[in-house]
A and B are shown apart, each in its own frame.
Chain A
Amino acid sequence: MKRKTNLAATVALLPTWLVAVVVFIGTMGWSIHLSFTNSTIFPSSTYVGLAQYQKLFSSAKWLASLQNVVTFGILYVGGCLLLGFLLATALDRKIRFESVFRTIFLYPYAMSFVVTGLIWQWMLNPMLGIQASVRSLGWDSFVLDWVVNRDMAIYALVLAGVWQGAGLVMVIVLSGMRGIEAEQWKAARIDGIPVWRIYLSIILPQLGPALAAAGLLLAMGVIKTYDIVVAMTNGGPGNATEVPAKFIMDNLFGRQNLGLATAGATVLVLGVLMIVAPFRYAMHMRGKKRGAR
């Protein structure tokens, strides 16, 4: 009986196995293979050893893109989690028109970045946007030129990214808060603990899973960051906002350099695996413990 049902589970997973092996592993194998060739527009079978990798790591653009995606990723995920948590806390305080606020905070998640990126570009442009408006009100030394400032452009991306992603975190965290028993609140209030401390030391620790899920959702997006960069800065000024996904895309099509693009992708995937593997291992061990229980 047990074996038969297990068979059903195995069969049910077959299409997914097929996708994982054929699509994910197959593509990776194909990419790794091409990264050792001198392919330009189309795959070629002239092997050039590690030349593409040498080229990759002597490219200022690629090195900048790796650094940028790390900076962006940390600030973006952190910013979304922080703002999302604050918004959720505020909405949890018996606010009037809660659902209106909630919708306002969530709507950017439904908008495509193709044009909202342009709007952010305008708003952070010193001649058009917020800076010009504030100055016209009389504050002449006000500066907000992130999009065009080499040192600040990456923060402009973060700002727009947080604008889009914080609402999702808010919804997830808010629902996590609503899942906490009312008795805990009563008890804490009777003990006379101030509200902000309750959120910080009692509620926040219980939100671990919700925050982790939200963080994972956001992190999956970070490595693929492309649209927002193309729409807002197109990687500039200079290399200030270049990201790996854009580097790969540019070389894949515009620059017709399949070899370099696949080398970049291979490095990226290895990097991802090095981050994911320890997590998976930890989860696996936890799963074993759970199974033994």
Chain B
Amino acid sequence: MARLHPNGPRPTQITAGRIGLYLFLIVAVLFFTLPLYTMVVTSLKTMDEIRLGQIFSLPSKLDVSAWITAWSGACMGTVCVGIRSGFWNSLAITLPSVALSVFIGAVNGYALSLWRPRGASVLFGLLLAGGLIPYQIFLYPMVRAMATVGLYNSLAGIILVHVIFGLPLVTLLFRNYFVSVPEELCKAARVDGAGFWRIFFEIMLPIAVPMVVVVSMLQFTGIWNDFLLGLVFAGRDNLPMTVQLNNIVNTTMGERTYNVNMAATILTALVPLAIYFLSGRWFVRGIAAGAVKG
């Protein structure tokens, strides 16, 4: 069925087409890596060198002090502990949020596509519309609601918020995945007396593993990089790394240390980057196995 390999035999001769192909790839690689290159060289320069405005030049002398400052010394207000303080908070927020939203989304997708209870398509339409609304507008009423149930400024609160805002996308992806599963599979299991949950855990979830991988990675990236929701809902003890990053990077009247900013940004992105590097294969395989279909 699905191939995990490229098409055709590997060409042995060098043709004009092959050269053009590699040329295209090299140009593309330049386009994609230039920003990262610029960030890395900037992070290794001193501010005096940065002020010269040669953004693509290599640093005259390697200076890693910006990295050390970003990780463990940069000030946010009167607290100077660097960006590391938000690292565990980000993990504590992201992991449960991803797990819960993926689980609920999978159940939703399964119920919406294979069981279609009354009102299923209305619900799906609502979710789709909800997913398209800029979430800034939800802030006020959500804050009120969270404060009323006592979840405002808490880890549980921010997790719940991420789960809620993740539902549309996750449900959409799982629904489209399960729609392509033969209905007979479900029917046969029902004839055998299996119920809703047994079919889900024993048949559907195992089939959907590639999708789970894909959705988890999308959700992980999105939640890890979220700034606004973390800022508003997490409370001062649970602020994620992106809020610390903002505190280092963003200023109106203060000085800007671009080298520290760059280092802090790369450090913040390390976890999602590591996941992409390490499990990039899984990602492609997950989608290859039909994870994303229209």
A and B touch in the complex (CB under 8 A): yes
B130 within 8 A of A: yes
Contact partner of B130 (CB less than 8 A), chosen from A20, A30, A212, is: A20
Interface range on chain B (Cβ under 8 Å from partner): 35 or more
Q: Which residues of A contact B72 (CB under 8 A)?
A: none
The answer, yes or no, to whether B181 is at the interface (CB within 8 Å) is no
Q: Determine, out of B23-31, B61-69, B80-88, B150-158, the stretch whose residues face the partner at the interface.
A: B23-31
B220 smallest CB distance to A (angstroms): 9
Asked if B253 is at the interface (CB within 8 A of a chain A CB), the reply is: no
Choose among B221, B264, B287 the residue that contacts A175 (Cβ–Cβ < 8 A).
B287
Q: How many A-B residue pairs have CB under 8 A?
A: 278
CB distance from A273 to the nearest CB of B (A): 6
How many angstroms between the C-alpha atoms of A132 and B56 in the bound complex?
Answer: 10
* Measured CA separation A176–B180 after assembly (Å): 14
Main secondary structure of the interface of B (DSSP, over half): helix
CB pair A86–B117 under 8 Å, yes or no, is no
Q: B236 at the A/B interface (Cβ < 8 Å)?
A: no
- The yes or no answer to B11 lying at the interface (CB within 8 A) is yes
Tell me the bound Cα distance from A132 to B104 in angstroms. Answer: 51
Instruction: Report if B251 contacts A (CB, 8 A).
Output: no
* Chain A residue contacts of B112, Cβ below 8 A: 13
Give the size range of A's interface with the partner: 35 or more
If A5-B190, A109-B221 touch, whether A163 touches B35 (CB-CB below 8 Å) is yes
In the bound assembly, the distance between CA atoms of A139 and B3 in angstroms comes to 47
Q: Is the CB of B7 within 8 A of A252?
A: no
**Could you tell me the distance in whole angstroms from the C-beta of B167 to the nearest C-beta in chain A?**
6
Name A167-222 residues within 8 Å CB distance of B.
Answer: 167, 171-172, 174-182, 185, 189, 195, 208-214, 216-217, 219-220
At the interface, yes or no: A8 with Cβ under 8 Å from chain B? yes
CA distance in complex: A103, B139 (Å): 35
Determine the residue in chain B with the shortest Cβ distance to A129.
Answer: B55
CB < 8 Å neighbour of B137 from A27, A119, A120, A208: A27
In the complex the two chains form, what is the Cα distance from A106 to B230 in whole Å?
25
Note all chain B residues with C-beta closer than 8 A to A112. 225, 227, 242, 245, 265, 268-269
The answer to whether residues A30 and B284 also contact, given A92-B7, A265-B134, A269-B129 and a CB cut-off of 8 A, is no
CA distance A31 to B195 in the complex (A): 41
Give Cα A19–Cα B51 distance, bound, in whole angstroms.
50
A23 CA to B94 CA, complexed, in Å: 21
- Do B195 and A8 touch (CB < 8 A)? yes
Chain B residues positioned under 8 Å from A101 (CB to CB): 25, 29
Task: List 16 additional A-B contacts (Cβ < 8 Å) besides A12-B197, A109-B221.
Answer: A5-B190, A24-B126, A87-B28, A90-B25, A91-B6, A94-B7, A101-B29, A105-B32, A114-B265, A163-B35, A174-B288, A176-B287, A178-B5, A209-B293, A224-B135, A284-B121
For chain A, residues 4 to 55, give those with C-beta under 8 angstroms from any C-beta of chain B: 4-6, 8-10, 12-13, 15-17, 19-28, 30-31, 43
Chain B 11-25 near chain A by CB (<8 Å), digits 1 or 0: 100000100011011
CB nearest to B281 among chain A residues = A99
> In the complex, which residue of chain B has the Cβ closest to the Cβ of A115?
B265
Are A93's CB and B6's CB within 8 A? yes
**Distance of A208 Cα from B293 Cα, bound (Å):** 9
| Cβ–Cβ < 8 Å partners of B137 in chain A | 27, 31, 248, 252, 261-262, 265
Give the residues from 92 to 119 in chain A that come closer than 8 angstroms, CB to CB, to chain B.
Answer: 92-95, 98-99, 101-112, 114-116, 118-119
What is the distance, in angstroms, from A148's C-beta to the closest C-beta of chain B? 15
A94 touches B35 (CB 8 A): no
